[in-house]
Amino acid sequence: MELLEFARGPALVFSAAVCAFGLAWRLYGILRRPLRTDLSAPRRSDTVAGGLRAILAKMLPPKGVKVRGVAMANAYAWHIGLALVVFAFAPHIAFIARHTGIGWPALPDPVTYVATAVAIVGLLIALLTRLTDPVLRLLSNFDDYFSWLVTMAPLATGMALLPMPAQPLWLAVHLLSLELLLVWLPFGKLAHAALVFVSRYRTGADFTRKGAAL
Amino acid sequence: MSEFDAPRFRIGKPETRYDKQGEASDAERAAAALRAFMRDMTRSSAAYLESCIHCGHCAEACHFYVTSGDAQHTPIWKLEPFKQAYQREAGPFAWLYRTFNLKKRVTAGELREWQELLYDSCTMCGRCTLACPMGIDIAGLVAQARHGMFAAGLVPHELWAAADRAEREGSPLGATPRVLKDRIAWLEDEHDVKIALDRAEADVLVTLSSIELMKYPASLVALARILNRMSVSWTFRSDGYEATNFGLFSGNLDWQRDMSLRVIHAAIACKAKTLVLPECGHAYGAMRWQGANMLGKPLPFRVLHISEFLAEAVREARLKLKPMQGSVTFHDPCQVSRRGGATGAPREVLAALGADLREMAPAGDANWCCGGGGGVVTLHRADTHRYRAFEIKMKQVEATGAERLATSCSNCRLTFDDGQAHHGWDRKMESLLELVAAQLA
């Protein structure tokens, strides 16, 4: 079997399955823990709306609390860059449409090239910050660095595909790097892509019940 | 200067520190902590402990980190042993962590090392929770991690002593029922005011913080004057008057329950419709948001912080006030405002006083903590960094240009008095309750 065939076939199925089942298991791991019923008299009853509000509100910087401004701006930049590369680049949309039947219009290629550059530079700055900032160095472990690597890898291998027509070997490597990311995603911090909804919802619902600040 | 007039009235500085309790071996301590940690691994805690992305934003929100610059003061780092225990014992991949020893077993040595981070360096003010982009309630997790520390017998000396005394005597500061009765009799005599005590039935049961009783007794006089003027049916009860809860601070759930139940049973006994909590931040969190959970069923009465009670009274025109002179800034007690949801109440009261309110930046929900909450003000070894953190408050207050400062927490007031004395700062923290009593129309 050619490497590209392997990457497009069994490796893709395997990695997608690990990602889906791994994430489901991780979420189940949270949901299986006991739920403590709060018997206090609620100040507000719109807790579901509060949970959903928190999911949206926490996308913005907190009010009145200073955060690491440069790091936060950088995080916005590379998350948006990454989202555009994944979901607005024509070949990626075609790839998704081929497997799911769902497609949408792409952004012009030059825009996604800029987005790629922003994502790559942003990730490099993030790594540099993590390596030099005392707080981040203290907090960081294998997960942080490996998650960085598997996020950067598809971007870097994707860049190698830019001189068209794409070389099958590089295409295979690009796909395999994506598959590595999918396999790792449920186990490390990248799972925040799903966990963000759970933890923000929890705080949103609990704090809304009290009328406390989010 | 009498003990009561000293800027710092609290647990005395121990000559020899005993920051561990009992004679258990290290293995037993670690095992006990783990059992307690596991009891707190609820769905909410699991969601939080799974979600940290190590972004470090919480550091900037913490008054201790901001003023020390010490990375160890990063709020989420204070939870490292709790996270470690979760991942190894309770998380969805615990079997992987255990099989390959990817997360080591939490040891007593590690817990000893973390004692200063979980107790001395955290007031559980919850500013970090606001800053967290994942919405992790770090302050709530610190309270849970303290349960494990108590089970391990690794509570700082003063905090354990205060909690133990509160459990045995009913007050962390020696305000026993007898002292309560004596001081009330003295206050009635001295201030010519009727202070209701041990009435068989009353609509409103009022409670106090023993800091008020012992150091700020004028607060009790103010409370009595206001309630008498409103013609409220009210009482203190010598079987349930202490609203502070050192069981909560120290991390002993059983003691927390005992302390809450004393007040709850007193309120039930006198058929109170409303329980009024004193100017005390954590008393509000302990009773308003955890009291029913301690009882195991909904409370058969309303629970209001005194600032909420006053706000309701002015809103319903049951309390008439004369306008006060001068400008004032208000320090929000974290557990009442940010974490309690009652940020608006003191502002309603100040508006009714016609106060020229000069808000600090930031104020309200994002307010900086005074640095003394969570039991930190009782810990002598935390003095240096508490005084350093207090400098944030001094700058905030000075920037408002307000002539007076007020709060509705006697623990914050105590922290301000102590910080003021330490820094030689020319300002005096006042009580919102006393401001109101001085303006009764």
- Mean pLDDT for chain B overall: 95
The separation between the first and the last C-alpha atoms of chain A, rounded to the nearest angstrom, is 54
pTM greater than the 0.90 cutoff? yes
Residue B341 domain-assigned?
Answer: yes
Tell me the HSE value of B56 on the side-chain side, using a 13 A CA sphere. Answer: 26
For residues B423 and B349, membership in a common domain is answered with yes
Chain A from 63 to 102: CB within 8 A of any B CB: 63-68, 71-72, 75
Strand duo B404-407 + B327-331: pairing: parallel
Residue B398 domain-assigned?
Answer: yes
DSSP one-letter code for B305? E
- Subunit contact A26:B54, Cβ cutoff 8 A: no
Q: What interface predicted TM-score (ipTM) does this complex get?
A: 0.95
Residue B264 has pLDDT above 70, yes or no: yes
For residues B115 and B197, membership in a common domain is answered with no
Q: Mean per-residue pLDDT for B230-238?
A: 97
Contacting residues of B for A50, CB less than 8 Å apart: none
Residues B336 and B339: their CA atoms lie apart, in Å, by 6
Contacting residues of A for B339, CB less than 8 Å apart: 210, 212-213
Per the listing, tokens 């004395």 go with B421
Residues A114 and A101: their CA atoms lie apart, in Å, by 27
Contacting residues of A for B136, CB less than 8 Å apart: 199, 203
For residues B108 and B77, membership in a common domain is answered with yes
Residue B163 domain-assigned?
Answer: no
Residue-range domain boundaries for chain A: 3-30+63-209
Residues B284 and B336: their CA atoms lie apart, in Å, by 6
Type of residue at A101:
G
Residue B419 domain-assigned?
Answer: yes
Type of residue at A113:
Y
Lowest pLDDT segment from B31-35, B210-214, B270-274:
B210-214
Coil, strand or helix: which one is B355? coil
Considering only CB atoms, B47 lies closest to which of A189, A198, A211, namely: A198
Instruction: Give the tens place of pLDDT for each residue, A153-171.
Output: 999 999 888 877 778 899 9
Residue B9 domain-assigned?
Answer: no
Chain A from 116 to 175: CB within 8 A of any B CB: 133-141, 144
Alpha carbon B247 to its chain centroid, in Å, reads: 11
Residues of chain A with pLDDT under 50: none
Residue B17 domain-assigned?
Answer: no
Residue B6 has pLDDT above 80, yes or no: no
What is the phi/psi pair of residue A39, to 5°?
-95, -5
Instruction: Give the tens place of pLDDT for each residue, B286-312.
Output: 999 999 999 999 999 999 999 999 999
What stretches of chain A show up as alpha helix (H) in DSSP?
A: 3-8, 10-31, 47-57, 69-88, 90-100, 109-132, 134-139, 142-159, 168-184, 192-210
Considering only CB atoms, A68 lies closest to which of B57, B76, B135, namely: B57
For residues B204 and B148, membership in a common domain is answered with no
- How many CB atoms lie under 10 A from the CB of residue B302? 17
Find, among B141, B90, B137, the residue nearest to B118 by Cα: B141
Residues A105 and B2: their CA atoms lie apart, in Å, by 78
Find, among B188, B195, B58, the residue nearest to B131 by Cα: B58
For residues B175 and B112, membership in a common domain is answered with no
CA dihedral in degrees (A185, A186, A191, A196; nearest 10)? 150
**What is the extent of the structural domain holding B46?**
26-155
Type of residue at B220:
L
Residue B211 sits in a domain of what CATH number? 1.20.1050
For residues B203 and B308, membership in a common domain is answered with yes
- Mean pLDDT for chain A overall: 95
Q: Where residue B1 falls among pLDDT bands split at 50, 70, 90?
A: very low
- Per-residue model confidence (pLDDT) at position A153: 97
Residue B7 has pLDDT above 90, yes or no: no
Residue B9 has pLDDT above 50, yes or no: yes
Residue B422 has pLDDT above 80, yes or no: yes
B238 contacts B177 by C-beta, under 8 angstroms: yes
Residue B8 has pLDDT above 60, yes or no: no
A185 Cβ contact list (under 8 Å, min separation 6): A19, A22, A23, A191, A193
Q: Mean per-residue pLDDT for B217-228?
A: 97
Residue of B nearest to A135 (CA): B71
Question: pLDDT exceeding 90 applies to what percent of chain B?
Answer: 95
What stretches of B291-441 show up as alpha helix (H) in DSSP?
A: 291-295, 306-315, 344-352, 383-400, 410-423, 432-437
CATH homologous superfamily of A3-30+63-209 equals Transmembrane di-heme cytochromes, Chain C (1.20.950.20)
Q: In Å, how far are A18, A50, A135, B53, B225 from A192, measured between CA atoms?
A: 16, 20, 20, 7, 54
Domain boundary among B313, B345, B371: B313
- Per-residue model confidence (pLDDT) at position A162: 80
Domain boundary among B99, B122, B155: B155
Chain B from 41 to 60: CB within 8 A of any A CB: 41-48, 50-57, 59-60
CA dihedral in degrees (B246, B251, B256, B258; nearest 10)? -100
Contacting residues of A for B54, CB less than 8 Å apart: 136, 139-141, 144, 189
A214 touches chain B (CB under 8 A): yes
B181 Cβ contact list (under 8 Å, min separation 6): B197, B238
For residues B44 and B115, membership in a common domain is answered with yes
B416 Cβ contact list (under 8 Å, min separation 6): B331, B370, B390, B393, B405, B407, B427, B429
Domain boundary among B313, B334, B360: B313
Per the listing, tokens 């893709």 go with A12
Residue B79 sits in a domain of what CATH number? 1.10.1060
Residues B210 and B215: their CA atoms lie apart, in Å, by 8
